């Protein structure tokens, strides 16, 4: 009973804690999305996805959304300024007052430097930032290259019930057949080895400089991503609550 009460108190404390800016980095297949959702639920803070922001602004027909739609319609790319404007608008909403997890942002050093300037611009007149002066905490999930390939290329899904398997780590009882309803597996087009290799190359080229950037600034916390989900989450929570954020 005492342990249950202690656990409940810890959960309440987390959902009241001011946590500031949390960034989760890692290559495709590292488990970023899973950990971001666990952190969001544990601390009661939003997961801010740049992909979701782009789609939402386009769907609502906002001024930023119209610019995005025009760019994509002409075959152009959404530039840093436009992405940063969307992020700025989203982070200014009340649900971000205690903190948030950035999903898919920053992707480049240019965006990281913009984020630093943005946080400084939100300091109040007495020099206290909205998050008590805390700088971002950057959690990097590290998974070995061949393991990533197996995680992604081994994924199989049942088209009827939606259950996900992995032929290397969580195979079905009968090869190619769903245990639940007997459906035949499908492979997502972006889970083929050729596509995955290119995605990993793109990640290394674009995002690894960001890893070096935050490492140099002493903001980077590296966690072995090849562990049970719960253990990774526990280490992430520990980093959020104990790392020096000033």
Find out whether 57 and 86 touch, Cβ atoms under 8 Å.
Answer: yes
* Active-site residue, 188 included: yes
- Mapped onto helix, strand or coil, the DSSP state of residue 145 is helix
What CA–CA distances, in Å, run from 119 to 99, 129, 194, 215? 12, 7, 39, 19
Q: How many CA atoms lie within 13 A of 21 on its CB side?
A: 26
Q: Which of 60, 122, 184, 188 is catalytic?
A: 188
Output the six-digit token pair for 72: 């994509």
* Active-site residue, 140 included: no
Q: Which of 90, 140, 155, 156 is catalytic?
A: 155
* Active-site residue, 67 included: no
Beta bridge partners of 184: 177
Segments in 122-189 forming alpha helices (H) = 145-153
* Active-site residue, 117 included: no
* Active-site residue, 201 included: no
Q: Which of 32, 140, 151, 245 is catalytic?
A: 32
Beta strands per DSSP E along 43-178:
47-49, 99-103, 137-142, 155-157, 164-166
Beta bridge partners of 30: none
Beta bridge partners of 156: 165
Rounded to the nearest 5 degrees, what angle is found at the Cα of 31, between the Cα atoms of 26 and 214?
Answer: 25
The string over 113-131, giving b where at least 16 C-beta atoms fall within 10 Å of a residue's C-beta and e elsewhere, is ebbeeebeeeeeeeeebbb
Output the six-digit token pair for 159: 């088209």
Residues forming the active site: 32, 107, 155, 188, 199
């Amino acid at each position: 009973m005492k342990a249950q009460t202690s656990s409940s108190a810890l959960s309440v404390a987390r959902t009241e804690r001011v946590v500031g800016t949390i960034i989760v980095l890692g290559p495709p297949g590292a488990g970023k999305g899973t950990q971001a959702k666990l952190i969001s639920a544990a601390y009661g803070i939003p997961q801010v996805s740049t992909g979701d922001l782009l789609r939402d602004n386009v769907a609502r027909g906002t001024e930023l959304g119209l610019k995005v739609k025009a760019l994509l319609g002409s075959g152009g790319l959404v530039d840093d300024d436009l992405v940063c404007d969307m992020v700025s608008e989203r982070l200014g909403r009340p649900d971000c007052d205690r903190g948030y997890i950035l999903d898919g942002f920053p992707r480049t050093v240019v965006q990281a430097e913009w984020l630093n300037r943005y946080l400084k611009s939100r300091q109040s007149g007495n020099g206290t930032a909205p998050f008590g002066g805390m700088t971002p905490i950057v959690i990097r999930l590290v998974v070995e290259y061949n393991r990533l390939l197996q995680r992604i290329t081994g994924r199989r899904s049942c088209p009827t019930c939606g259950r996900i398997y992995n032929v290397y780590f969580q195979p079905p009882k009968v090869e190619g057949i769903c245990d639940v309803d007997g459906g035949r597996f499908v492979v997502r087009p972006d889970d083929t080895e050729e596509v995955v290799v290119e995605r990993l190359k793109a990640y290394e080229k674009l995002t690894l400089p960001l890893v070096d950037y935050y490492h140099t600034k002493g903001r980077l916390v590296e966690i072995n991503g090849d562990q049970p989900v719960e253990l990774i989450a526990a280490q992430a929570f520990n980093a959020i609550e104990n790392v020096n954020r000033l």
